Structure 1
Amino acid sequence: MEQALEGIKVLDLTRVLAGPYCTMILADMGAEVIKVEEPVKGDDSRHFGPYVNGESAYFMSINRNKKSMTLNLKHEEAKAQLFKLVAQVDVIVENFKPGTMEKLGLGYDVLKEINPRLIYAATSGFGHTGPYSKRPAYDGVVQAMGGIMSITGQKGGKPTRVGPSVGDIMAGMFTSIGILGALRYRDLHGVGQKVDVAMLDCQVAVLENAISRYFVTGISPEPEGNRHASIVPFEPFDTYDGEIMLAVGNDNIWKKFCEVIEKPEWVDHEHFKTNPLRSKNYNVLRPMIAETLKVKPTSQWQFIFDEHGIPNGPINNIEMVVTDPQVNHREMIVEIDHPVAERIKVPGVPVKMSLSQGAVWKAAPLLGADTASVLMEMNDLTEADVELLRQKGAI
């Protein structure tokens, strides 16, 4: 099956998470991604645990489907090879602190002269403009500054960092979207452009109704625990033997919910019949629902709610997620063979396409595994040329 981005070549200068997550998305959809790493050390995330036979599981999870070559970007001969590669690729992605590429003589203004069709994508903490532009950032910093921590956690508790590194991951996702948009623009107009994505901007973009609530009320939202700020009931409840997540997203579902829990009198109750009323009277309604749901085990409630189309689910731990039949039917856990770590499992591709399905077809590369082949195939070097560059410290 042909993949959606087959034929697109990407030069990947990124490291750690935001940039590699972006290029992973592109690689999963068929782009040829050539990861450029620092000689000897490689991507920082190669040194993040846990390890399998000495290989970082962290690195392997987000660098599948890629090639790896090493270039010392401070070495003039390595830069000369990079320039040759830039002339042949469609996209270059980097997530250095703004100004770093310019100091190396590799900024967008230089590279677009070599390849006017080049899409130059840059992911950074605060973007390439603005008063914070030159500041370094990691996920925790932008989660804190972007407001998401202030609305996460138990009611009355301290601001809490979201478990996954959403500051990095959201930036990686938005960068991939920007690249796809720029490729489409190039299809229409024949020229590339710079895509500038800030982790902080992405956090602001995903605050959902927190910003609208602030502008409407003038009050900054605070953590609400597991409840939804404006939909009721929309949170976990204790059952006879555990917990169940319930999401009564509209008044029609509310009617069905009341019927199946044998509380028909709540359907048209003057305090509960609409979502605004349920939100207003949350402190009265919540304990009433809680008392009702305690009488049956979680599995029984799941069966009842599923039969009547009421959104619900168990609160799964990671072991439960990776063994879930729906998750596995959708191929969201896949096995691949790694030359050192051997058989490993990684998340699959979440975007399902009827004619050009992406796939995880290759394990993450060993450091510099493709240096010689890339330089020989794309830059017409010989084995002797490659060895000389290695001896000079350029690769």
Structure 2
Amino acid sequence: MNEGALAGVRILDMATVLAAPAGATHCADHGADVVKLELPDGSDALRGLAPVKDGVPLWWKIANRGKRGITLDVRKSRGRDIFLSMLPRFDVLVENFRTGTMDRWGLDLATLHRANPKLIVIRLTGFGQTGPYATRPGFARVFEAMSGFTNLTGEAGGAPLHANFPVGDAVAGLYCAFAIAMEVARQRGDATAKGVEVDLSATEALFRLLDPLPVEHEQLGQVRHAEGNCASYTAPSNMYRTRDGMHLSVVASSHAIFSRLCEAMGQPDWPKDPRFATNPARVRNLAELDSAISEWFAARDYTEIVALLEPAGIPFSKVYTIADIEQDPHYRSREAIIRLPDPDYGTLPAPCVVPRVTGRRQAVPRTGPSVGEHNAEIYGEFGISANELDALRSEGVV
């Protein structure tokens, strides 16, 4: 076992639900010591989101893996004092309350930095700390819709579609982890570096992925829309249904791959056909090309198609369910699903640590903490005795 690259970094995660906590979790995966701070009533909405089994929040356990958990009501005077007294022991604070909320609690940026001048404060909100929408509430589907992402999904001419997963939260969480690593690297390279406020907008995080949209609109006057499973920028690239009902995603956009696909399909002349000889030409003639490819797939069973496409080096995959992932030999050989130690179930399955670092094998994190699970341990580290903790508990502070 080797320590992760973020070993020694201490993060206080007081964020709720998914996006910002996910960023802290990615850091925990790579060695950071992350303390999860919740309200004493355990009211974080993620504890109630499916999957929940017999009242046990399974998603919470996986999404907050590798963290120790405490409770503290920073809205109470005593809770705020304890919170500020803890900050000098942390490098990073992660929060995602609506803009201005921390200020109303007496925890404005100046107060935080008086407590710890080197503190990196990550503020992940729907729309950022400034601008006319700064105080709006936001959820993943709102970020996805406003960023332009949802406009690219769905059938051509039909209603836009959301995925059955909060993609916007996941993307924002990755940018959160990147922001933490970025600022930790800055401080490690400069002993005099002061703390900063990172203003991370979840909407901007998702929009940042959509590089070509502004330039193609300005320079070409184009507004990109949903095209079903096709792509308006490359061809062929689509989902094809086999005779026995399997769905395959196939991408053959480079000329070399397209030529190999044509050979496998018994159409060696297509790459020389002016309609299909270049990617722009294939995009212009997509309907005709895709119709012919769809017919070819529909006339064959999955096993026959695999036997033709794999030797030809065609990038393709059937559409996996989680059951397929669990059985796939490549996933299994790389141990892409790991077992997290868990006090309720022994172990629980979860995705592996990403990315991998060659030669480094890190400890498997345990599942996320129960409400206030590590109160005695962590508050003890800050000199709060068991009797004091009992008094704070009776006052509703922890």
User: Is TM-score (shorter-chain normalized) higher than 0.5?
Assistant: yes
Aligned residue for 1:264, secondary structure, equals coil
Amino acid across the alignment from 1:237? Y
Query: Which AA in structure 2 matches 1:382?
Result: S
Aligned partner of 1:135: which letter? R
After the TM superposition, which of the residue ranges 141-150 and 354-363 deviates more from structure 2? 354-363
Matches of residues 21-40 of structure 1 in structure 2 within 5 Å? 21-40=22-41
**TM-score, L = length of structure 1:** 0.95
What is residue 141 of structure 1 aligned with on the other side? Answer: 142
Of 361-370 and 199-208, the range deviating more from structure 2: 199-208
Judged with a 3 Å threshold, the aligned counterparts in structure 2 of structure 1 residues 276 and 179 are, in CA distance, closer, same or farther, namely same
| Structure 2 residue corresponding to 1:248, chosen from 249, 252, 260 | 252
Structure 1 gaps of 5+ residues are: none
Question: Aligned residue for 1:288?
Answer: 292
Note if contact 1:120-1:195 (Cα within 8 Å) is conserved in structure 2.
yes
Paired letter, 1:252: A
Aligned: 1:331 with 2:332: no
Alignment pair present for 1:375 and 2:379: yes
Q: Which amino acid aligns with 1:82?
A: F
Moved more, 120-129 or 256-265: 256-265
| Native 8 Å contact 2:15 2:97 kept in 1 | yes
* 2:303 equivalent to 1:299: yes
| 1:374 maps to amino acid | I
2:44 corresponding residue in structure 1: 43
Q: Is 1:223 aligned to 2:246, yes or no?
A: no
Q: Deviations 1:157-202 (Å, cap 9, x if unpaired)? A: 1111133211111111111111111111112233221111001111
1:216-253 Cα deviation digits (max 9, x unpaired): 33232221000112111111122222332110031111
Distance 1:355 1:90, change over 3 A: farther
Once the two structures are superposed, residues 249-289 of structure 1 have per-residue CA deviations (whole angstroms, 9 ceiling, x without a partner) of 31111111111222111121111111111111112211122
Structure 1 residues 88-99: aligned runs within 5 Å: 88-99=89-100
Residue 136 (structure 1) shift: 0.8
Q: Which residue in 2 is equivalent to 1:167? A: 168
Secondary structure at the residue paired with 1:164? coil
Bigger shift: 355-364 or 266-275? 355-364
**Residue in 2 aligned with 1:181?**
182
- State the alpha-carbon separation in 1 of the partners of residues 206 and 89 from structure 2: 34
In the alignment, what sits opposite 1:389?
A: 392
What is the rounded CA distance, in whole Å, between the counterparts of 1:292 and 1:169 in structure 2? 37
Shift of 1:315: 1.3
1:349 matched residue in structure 2: 353
Alpha-carbon distance in structure 1 between the residues aligned to 2:252 and 2:216: 21
Question: Quick one: distance in 1 between partners of 2:363 and 2:281?
Answer: 47
Partner of 1:13: 14
Moved more, 251-260 or 201-210: 201-210
Distance 1:212 1:163, change over 3 A: farther
Question: 1 CA distance for matches of 2:203 and 2:337?
Answer: 30
Say if 1:11 and 1:36, in contact at 8 Å, map to a contact too.
yes
Q: Which amino acid aligns with 1:273?
A: A
1:314 and 2:321 aligned: no
Q: Distance in 2 between matches of 1:53 and 1:335?
A: 20
What pairs with 1:38-187 in structure 2 (closer than 5 Å)?
A: 38-187=39-188
SS in structure 1 at match of 2:179: helix
Helix, strand or coil: the match of 2:11?
Answer: strand
Q: For residues 357 and 204 of structure 1, what CA distance do their matches in structure 2 show?
A: 34
1:63-85 per-position Cα deviation (integer Å, ceiling 9, x unaligned): 11111100011122222221121
Tell me the SS of whatever aligns to 1:120: strand
- Structure 1 residues 368 and 42: CA distance shift in structure 2, 3 A: farther
Percent of residue pairs bearing the same amino acid type: 29
Partner Cα distance (2:319, 2:31) in 1? 34
SS in 1 for 2:347: strand
SS at 2:233 equivalent: coil
- Distance, in Å, in 1 between the alignment partners of 2:307 and 2:197 is 51
Aligned-pair CA distance for 1:358: 4.5
Contact 1:2–1:355 (CA under 8 A) maintained in structure 2? no
Provide the aligned C-alpha RMSD in A.
1.6
Question: Which position in structure 1 is the counterpart of 2:208?
Answer: 205
Per-residue deviation, 1:353: 0.8
What's the CA shift for 1:290? 1.9
Change (3 A) 1:304 1:364: same
Counterpart in 1 of 2:282? 278
SS state at 1:86 partner: helix
Q: 1:345 Cα deviation (Å)?
A: 1.6
Q: Distance in 2 between matches of 1:192 and 1:262?
A: 63
CA contact (8 A) 2:341 2:365 kept: no
Q: Deviations over 1:363-395 (max 9, x none)?
A: 111110001110111x11221222222122211
**Residue type of the alignment partner of 1:141:** V
Distance 1:118 1:19 in 2: 17
Distance 1:355 1:104 in 2: 46
